[in-house]
Amino acid sequence: MSGTRRIWVVGTADTKGEELAFLAAQVRELGGAPVIVDVGTRAPTISPDISAGEIAGPAAPGLRAEADRGVSVSAMSAAFAAFAVEQLAQRSFSGIVGIGGGGGTSIITAGMRRLPIGMPKVMVSTLASGDTSAFVGVSDIVMMPTVTDLAGLNRISREVLANAAGAIVGMTLRPALPKVDRTTVGLTMFGVTTACVTAIVKDLGDQVEPIVFHATGTGGRAMEALVDSGLIAGVIDVTTTEIADLLCAGVLPAGPDRLDCIARTRIPYVGSLGACDMVNFWARDTVPRRYEGLLFYQHNANVTLMRTNAAECAEIGRWIGRKLNACDGAVRVLVPKLGVSALDIEGGPFWGPDADRALFSALHETFRPTDLRRLIELPLHINDPAFARAVVAAYHAISS
């Protein structure tokens, strides 16, 4: 069972044996080479090609049936993730399709998240129609709802599983894309910095492949995961608004490790303060009561923006400054003194010179310049074409 279409069919064979066997048969019928992988914690009802004991290794005793289920699921999640990475290095499979309820989904997606972007991954889950962020993370897992529970085959589950087989086989059949011989650069963008980033992308030139990430929390994390994996060689982080959400309890926050990958990898970095004038919340009635009396802008019925005040802006500036002080590679931070978003402009709903001054001053006072690390203040608005040109010039200067 070797070749380019060797597909792992993963699930808990103690409770999902019938479904795993059916899914594997569908994969085989479509021309794939299925490998049934058991991640269950009890005796399987079918004979898998790869057993749970083989995956768990020395940790297998901790997965016994009488153990606490939460402990067992956590142990198998870690074991499966390590096993998947090890087997991927040996090129032992070309795609993975999993089925599961809560426990199975947690175990299987822990392994899927460790696999590279582009590796086909389909997760058929009873939880796929809800909030799947904990399972998907910043990966490219395709989540497929089961519609019914996975408690034996029926006319609905057969259709869903057959479609999952078609999806995973189709993914593994596609030809490899041609390699792009250009340097990759990651950029962060939000609606209120779109004009800036669009101009930057246009001006970067043909030798650079821009990869733009929407600054919604997961966007920044996805970009930084690709930096750590070596798939992004430089960063133009114009839109650092996720940090505002992190520090002010917004709904699109960065993680506390935002910018740490720049220090680890020392790749060329050009940053700014795009959309640090705002914090994101959902509908107006979801805004925490402690923020009553502040300035809000209703982006739409489901998204409410809150203007950061001077104290919050100062905290954001200090946080960014401290993070960048840990970066020993080439760093340029460009400060747009006339506003940091499309709303933060003279006459705009978030125009706030006092708050902006607090942001700029705190960053300036915290930031420690070196020969490689510099802060540049410009008498421009962030969406001014001249600001975009200055960003591109700064990037080329430190990346060439």
User: Which CA distances in Å does 111 have to 20, 74, 92, 139, 165?
Assistant: 18, 12, 15, 11, 19
Fold match flag (6-173 vs 183-399): yes
Report the C-alpha gap between 98 and 110 in whole angstroms: 11
Q: Shortest CA distance to 79 belongs to which of 61, 100, 101?
A: 61
- Strand, helix or coil for residue 151: coil
Q: What is the pLDDT of residues 159-198, one digit of tens each?
A: 999 999 999 999 999 998 888 889 999 999 999 999 999 9
pLDDT at 85: 95
Q: Can you tell me the distance from the alpha carbon of 173 to that of 255, in angstroms, rounded to the nearest whole number? A: 36
Tell me which residue of 110, 108, 146, 139 sits closest to 125, measured CA to CA. Answer: 146
Kindly compute the dihedral angle of the four CA atoms of residues 252, 253, 255, 259, in this order, to the nearest 10 degrees.
Answer: 100
Burial classification of residue 264, based on how many CB atoms lie within 10 Å of its CB (0-12 exposed, 13-18 middle, 19 or more buried): middle
User: For residue 108, which of 158, 150, 68 has the smallest C-alpha distance?
Assistant: 150
Eight-state DSSP code of residue 57: G
Per residue of the chain (400 residues), give pLDDT as tens. 344 589 999 999 999 999 999 999 999 999 999 999 999 988 999 999 999 999 998 766 556 555 677 888 999 999 999 999 999 999 889 999 999 999 999 999 999 999 999 999 999 999 999 999 999 999 999 999 999 999 999 999 999 999 999 999 999 999 988 888 899 999 999 999 999 999 999 999 898 999 999 999 999 999 999 999 899 999 999 999 999 999 999 999 999 999 999 999 999 999 999 999 999 999 999 999 999 999 999 999 999 999 999 999 999 999 999 999 999 999 999 999 999 999 999 999 999 999 999 999 999 999 999 999 999 999 999 999 999 999 999 999 999 8
Q: How far apart are CA 151 and CA 291, in angstroms?
A: 47
Q: What is the CATH number of domain 6-173?
A: 3.40.50.12020
Residues 290-341 pLDDT 10s: 999 999 999 999 999 999 999 999 999 999 999 999 999 999 999 999 999 9
Kindly report whether the global pTM for this prediction surpasses the value 0.75: yes
Map tokens 């058929």 to a residue: 124
Using CA atoms, how far apart are residues 146 and 169, in angstroms rounded to an integer?
18
Residue spans of the domains in the chain: they are 6-173, 183-399
- Just give the CATH number of 183-399: 3.40.50.12030
- Max distance between CA atoms of the chain, in angstroms, equals 70
